Structure 1
């Protein structure tokens, strides 16, 4: 029995893109932890940095899980209509929107 697509190339590239995104968010969160509390003098920025690290870990796990789900669907029957949903993508979009709004507020108010 042959499968209609290569079992790992596209899902693996997508998972690597999620991994790069998680690493970028994690690095930005570490910079937030290092610079904002000292520059703005408020300990609440530590919570912002820790929340960013938590989201980065969640994205890493979600990307890996999605790759495994896609590989399972493609190996089972190749039905591309049953692919996993776009929940992690929506969550990432909301996070980026909230982060952008917070950064804009910090720049304008400080």
Structure 2
């Protein structure tokens, strides 16, 4: 009967995020770097083997997708600087996943 109840604790313990936001921010930076390397290598492959209309189109689409992913990642990294960062919205998560998937499709098209 002498236990502490939820009402005694108030709204609950204050969450100490520790280094988790920093680790997440670094993970987004590594992912952005990987996406950049993939886009540059794809463009290099298209330009090195001779240009075709389909290759140039795939390269341009690859650049647009990279810029889209870069925008989503930058927005998320900025949000993680808050003392209590919000979770990533489903819309932003879908945009990042779509950019990643479409970038892989462009890579396959550039290899053809």
The structure showing larger relative contact order (alpha-carbon pairs under 8 Å, at least 6 residues apart) is 2
Residue 95, structure 1, aligned to residue 95, structure 2? no
Q: CA separation of 1:4/1:96 partners in 2, compared to 1, >3 Å: closer, same or farther?
A: same
Q: Which residue of 2 aligns with 1:35?
A: 45
Q: Distance in 2 between matches of 1:44 and 1:50?
A: 10
Please list every run of 5 or more consecutive structure 2 residues that lacks an aligned counterpart in the other structure: 1-12
Equivalent residue, structure 1, for 2:5 = none
| CA separation of 1:53 and 1:94: change in aligned 2, threshold 3 A | closer
In 2: Cα distance, 1:90 partner to 1:20 partner: 19
Q: Which runs of 5+ in 1 are unaligned?
A: 74-81
Could you tell me how far 1:52 is from its partner in structure 2?
A: 3.9
TM-score normalised by length of structure 2 = 0.64
CA spacing shift, 1:45–1:27, aligned 2, 3 Å? same
* Alignment-derived partner of residue 24 in structure 1: 34
Q: Deviations over 1:6-58 (max 9, x none)?
A: 34411111111111111111111111222213325223244134224413431
Highest Rg: 1 or 2?
2
**1:84 CA displacement:** 4.4
CA spacing shift, 1:83–1:97, aligned 2, 3 Å: closer
Residues 55 and 102 of structure 1, relative CA distance in 2, 3 Å threshold: same
Match of 1:11 among 21, 39, 42: 21
Deviations 1:32-91 (A, max 9, x none): 22221332522324413422441343144123123134x245xxxxxxxx6442333211
- Where is the helix percentage greater, Structure 1 or Structure 2? 1
